[in-house]
């Protein structure tokens, strides 16, 4: 059976370019699982409520763009094949979140962030740099990032209108998946980042959330 570990550097770069296009182009990522929202009833949201929820989902969508870029960058520079495979598998699972968020944003009559290409590039660079340092650092970065994502999801769940069961179902499933990614990364050998590093990551994530909520 063929394995990507035998691909040339040029092949890998082309695959990364394809992954970037599928992440950034609207409705190009096909989910592996149906959205949790499909089994939930529609709800009547006021204009301001719909705008607020769309902003929250736009933030989460950009977060998934960053996650895709992070994993793809790490997969490009990972030293051990099993770590590379783990990064690529995680990226595949994040495709579901990307598609679910985008679909919900469109249902709310809004749009994804125009800043996504910028955040994709920054996250890809961070992921590639972490992978070049060591696989343990790379996995630790995944765990720390996913922990930050879980905190954002908890905050957003508390801010959703009680009647918006569709968005809530999506975010609750995303949180379950992200927590599992964090746990898996540590169990695979990732280091636990110290508090100052996590604090710096938190500040960067706040920049992303503040800008993409409206743009």
Tokens found for residue 24: 């950034």
Is the distance from CB of 62 to CB of 113 less than 8 angstroms? Answer: yes
The number of C-alpha atoms within 13 Å of 23 and in the hemisphere containing its C-beta is 32
Distance separating alpha carbons of residues 11 and 155, to the nearest angstrom: 40
Annotated binding site for Fe cation: 64, 94, 97, 146, 178, 181
Report how far residue 90's alpha carbon sits from residue 82's, in angstroms, rounded to the nearest whole number. 12
- Total residue length of the chain: 215
Query: Distance of CA 188 to CAs 52, 148, 182, 185, Å?
Result: 38, 19, 10, 5
Q: Is 18 exposed, middle or buried (0-12, 13-18, 19+ CB in 10 A)?
A: exposed
Binding residues: 64, 94, 97, 146, 178, 181
Q: How many other β-carbons are positioned within 10 Å of the β-carbon of residue 153?
A: 21
Alpha-carbon distance 55 to 210, whole Å?
Answer: 10
């Amino acid at each position: 059976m063929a394995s990507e570990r035998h691909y040339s550097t040029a092949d890998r770069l082309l695959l990364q370019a394809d992954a970037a296009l599928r992440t950034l182009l609207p409705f190009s990522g096909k989910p592996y699982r149906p959205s949790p929202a499909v089994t939930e009833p529609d709800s009547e949201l006021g204009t301001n409520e719909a705008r607020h929820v769309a902003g929250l989902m736009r933030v989460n969508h950009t977060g998934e763009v960053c996650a895709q870029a992070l994993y793809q960058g790490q997969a490009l520079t990972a030293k051990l094949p099993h770590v590379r495979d783990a990064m690529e598998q995680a990226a595949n699972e994040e495709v579901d979140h990307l598609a679910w968020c985008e679909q919900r944003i469109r249902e709310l009559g809004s749009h994804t962030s125009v800043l996504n290409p910028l955040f994709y590039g920054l996250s890809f660079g961070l992921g590639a740099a972490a992978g070049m340092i060591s696989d343990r650092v790379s996995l630790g970065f995944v765990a720390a990032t996913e922990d930050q994502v879980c905190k954002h999801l908890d905050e957003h769940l508390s801010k959703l209108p009680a009647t918006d069961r569709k968005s809530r179902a999506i975010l609750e499933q995303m949180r379950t998946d992200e927590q599992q990614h964090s746990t898996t990364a540590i169990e695979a050998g990732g280091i636990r980042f110290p508090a100052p590093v996590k604090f710096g990551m938190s500040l960067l994530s706040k920049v992303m959330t503040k800008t993409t909520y409206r743009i």
